[in-house]
Each structure stands twice: as C-alpha cells, then as structure tokens.
Amino acid sequence: MRPADTFAARLGLPIRDTTLFEQALTHSSYLHEHRDTVSGHNERLEFLGDAVVTLVIGEALFRLRPDDDEGVLSARRAAIVSAQGLARIARRIDLGEALRLGEGESRRDGRTRVSLLASGLEAVLGAIYVDLGYDVARDWLLEQAAPELTSDAPLSSLKSAKSRLQEHTQRVNGERPSYRLVEATGPDHEKLFRVEVSVGGRALGTGVGRSQKAAEIAAAEAALPGLRDGAPDGPGAG
C-alpha cells in the first residue's frame, strides 16, 4: 500500500484521488530532489486549505459560542488557525511522519517544525476538500479540532506571542518590541530566517522560521519566559 493510502486509511478517510493526497504530503524540498518522479508539491493545496480552515473554524465558533462578541470570536479563531494551533492538531494525527521531505528538511527536524506541520495540515485539508467535498472536509476538521473548539481557556491565553510580548513591554516601560532580521540562509526553496527581538536596545530573544513572520513569532515566544513583572533590564532600568 502506498504511504498516502496508509495515512488516509489511518485517518478513516475514503480518499478517491491518491495522487492528489500524495501531493498534499509532498513538501517542496522533496520535489526539488525528486523532479523525475514527483509532479508537484503541496503549496497550492496549502493555499486552498488555509481558506477552508478559516471558514470551518469560524463557522463552528459562531454556532458553539453564541454569547461571544466579534472580538472574542476572532481571538479564539486566531488561536486555533495559527501555526502553533494547526501544528498541535497535526501532531495528534502524526502528520510529520507521513510528510515527504527532502533530506535537508529531514536533517533539520522538519517533521517536528511548527510551520511545516501547520502548512502540511492545510494542504491535507485542501486535498480532502477537492477530493471529497466541503462537508467531509468540515466534519473531519471539526473532529480533529474538538479540544480547541470546546476549550474555555481565558482569552488572554489565546493571544499570539507577539501580542502578549507587546502588551507586556508597553505595560512595564511603554515601549514596543523591535524585530530585526539577523540572517536569511539557504536556497529559495529551503530559506531559513533568524530574527532577534529587542526592547529599548536590549535583546530579549531570537527565533528561527521558514518565513520572517514565523521567525518573529518564534523570537517572541523565546522572549516571553524570561520576562518578569518589572521592566526588562536595559537603558534606564535598575
């Protein structure tokens, strides 16, 4: 049985177009190393899946939480459809093990990388939508995202790392975090970005990601644990 068939069977999906599903599991790095045997990668399906995810989760929250206003609904949706939120769902179904990655991505722990897992999940959902229709794609995603959809976590915990970091620094010293691109390495299809976040000239953390935005989020996440209730040490502190 082909890997895509095995993965689909494990998820309980009656996939009809195995070629499409294999494409959903194929990262661009794999295509670049196997041009003679692979016809395409998953980025177009990722684009489509992103739209499906947003609609499904937004509709579900609208129906499940009739007392939440637009701001709360938006925050809850953003938390679920964020890279971190989608990667959490992807781990539940062991998506990382099913992805077809190039050797370089595999060596860099690509099967556990948040951005890669999130984009892979969107691509899989895009393939389900194309092959089996919206109703099947919706029901499957709602089943996978049930813990997040029914969670009563406080709104503050749903905000992105960048939002939480900015709120903290503005509260304690009135300054906004500044993000600086330190370096971008690798070929275009495997570019890796490193970003440093600082406040008042003091570096608080660095992060690495497949895009500059992802690296900024990683930098904010790295900075948050080291913050204390007072203003960060730096010019004028102490």
- Considering the domain architecture, whether residues 123 and 58 belong to the same structural domain is answered as yes
3-state secondary structure of 190: helix
- Considering the domain architecture, whether residues 40 and 115 belong to the same structural domain is answered as yes
CB 54 within 8 A of CB 77: yes
CATH number of the domain within which 165 lies: 3.30.160.20
234 pLDDT band (50/70/90 cuts)?
Answer: very low
Among 155, 179, 200, give the residue marking a domain's end: 155
- Considering the domain architecture, whether residues 180 and 79 belong to the same structural domain is answered as no
Mean predicted lDDT score pLDDT of the chain: 86
Domain assignment present for 236: no
Range of the domain at 212: 161-226
CB 21 within 8 A of CB 94: no
193 pLDDT band (50/70/90 cuts)?
Answer: very high
Across 38-47, 119-128, 154-163, 187-196, the highest mean pLDDT is recorded for 119-128
Domain assignment present for 48: yes
- Considering the domain architecture, whether residues 207 and 93 belong to the same structural domain is answered as no
Who's near 57: CB < 8 A, 6+ residues apart? Answer: 77, 80, 81, 141, 145, 149
pLDDT of residue 158 exceeding 70, the answer is no
Kindly report whether the global pTM for this prediction surpasses the value 0.85: no
Domain count, the chain: 2
Among 140, 155, 170, give the residue marking a domain's end: 155
- Considering the domain architecture, whether residues 42 and 136 belong to the same structural domain is answered as yes
- Considering the domain architecture, whether residues 27 and 124 belong to the same structural domain is answered as yes
Domain assignment present for 233: no
Tokens of 114: 């948040």
Q: Which active-site residues does the annotation give?
A: 50, 122
3-state secondary structure of 215: helix
What is the Cα–Cα distance from 11 to 14, expressed in whole angstroms? 9
- Considering the domain architecture, whether residues 177 and 135 belong to the same structural domain is answered as no
Among 155, 172, 198, give the residue marking a domain's end: 155
- Considering the domain architecture, whether residues 167 and 129 belong to the same structural domain is answered as no
- Considering the domain architecture, whether residues 138 and 168 belong to the same structural domain is answered as no
CATH number of the domain within which 14 lies: 1.10.1520.10
